[in-house]
A = this chain, B = another copy of it.
Amino acid sequence: MALTASAIPGLPEIEPGADLAALLAGALQSPLEPGDVLVLAHKIVSKAEGRIRTLSSVEPGTRAIELAERLGKDPRHVQVVLDESREILRAERGVLISITHHGFVCANAGVDASNVPGADAVVVLPEDPDASARRIRSRLRELTASDPAILIADSFGRAWRHGQCDVTIGCAGIGPLEDWRGRHDATGRELKATWIAVADELAAAADLARAKDGSEPAVLIKGADRHVTPDDGPGARAMIRPEAEDLFRQFAPETT
């Protein structure tokens, strides 16, 4: 079955308190169908949830000031990153890699200043992106009687490759990982290590369909029906590799 991804045009600038599901329902150009997937840039979810920090009201601490100086960053911005981090993994070459409170390993704990009106504001990740996805799904069900999968996406860098790919940081109604381990390939041989990060591949596909200037933060994907589930499922937290299985983060942590 062909996969199609199309940006949903015409969403307004999202304000804190906005009913995102209602805005999405209003912007859709045709009714949702069973098996549809909606991929939302995390920024609109964060904004609707009021997850915005005003830098002028942030008082940077000693560690933020030290890191900011070393990395050439705004100490107030670094303080927000520290507030959003469980641990800082690397602070080198102007890059701050942290583990967020959710367990995501990413640059700047996902704190982002782009696509935010007001030069003084930064957007932080939703507090519980899986819960956010479930709430939006539930509200859409109320409004439209349809039941799309909801994915909340952010752009993450990769340790060994240039550029960023969108990944899913929160989801509801999707099997985030498709497990082919133990199943057999077309020649009858067992597929040894095929465990597909479906939710991340969907986020990546969605990213290709929208304008990066932030004016198209929502994308509708059709053709991924087999991954869409009636129940909300385990969420994106199921994709976080536990620290005990991590072969890379442990070594040479940043020390201050």
Contacts and interface: CB of A to CB of B under 8 A. Distances in A.
Interface of A: 1-6, 90, 92-93, 95, 97, 104-105, 107, 113-117, 119, 155, 157-167, 176-178, 180, 183-187, 189-198, 200-202, 204-205, 207-209, 212-215, 223-224, 238-241, 245-252
Contacts of A176: 163
Contact of A201 (B6, B165, B177, B215): B165
Given A204-B200, A204-B204, A160 B2 contact: no
A interface: dominant SS: loop
Copies of this chain per assembly = 2
Given A114-B191, A164-B195, A186-B214, 5 more contacts: A3-B5, A3-B208, A114-B194, A162-B197, A162-B238
Query: What are the 8 tightest A-B residue pairs by CB atom distance, in nearest-first order?
Result: A163-B197, A205-B205, A251-B251, A204-B204, A251-B252, A105-B160, A2-B6, A201-B204
Contacts of A95: 247
Contact of A208 (B104, B107, B190, B201): B201
Contact of A240 (B162, B224, B239): B162
Contacts of A3: 4-6, 205, 208-209
A161 B185 CA distance: 24
B2 A5 contact: yes
Nearest to A192: B114
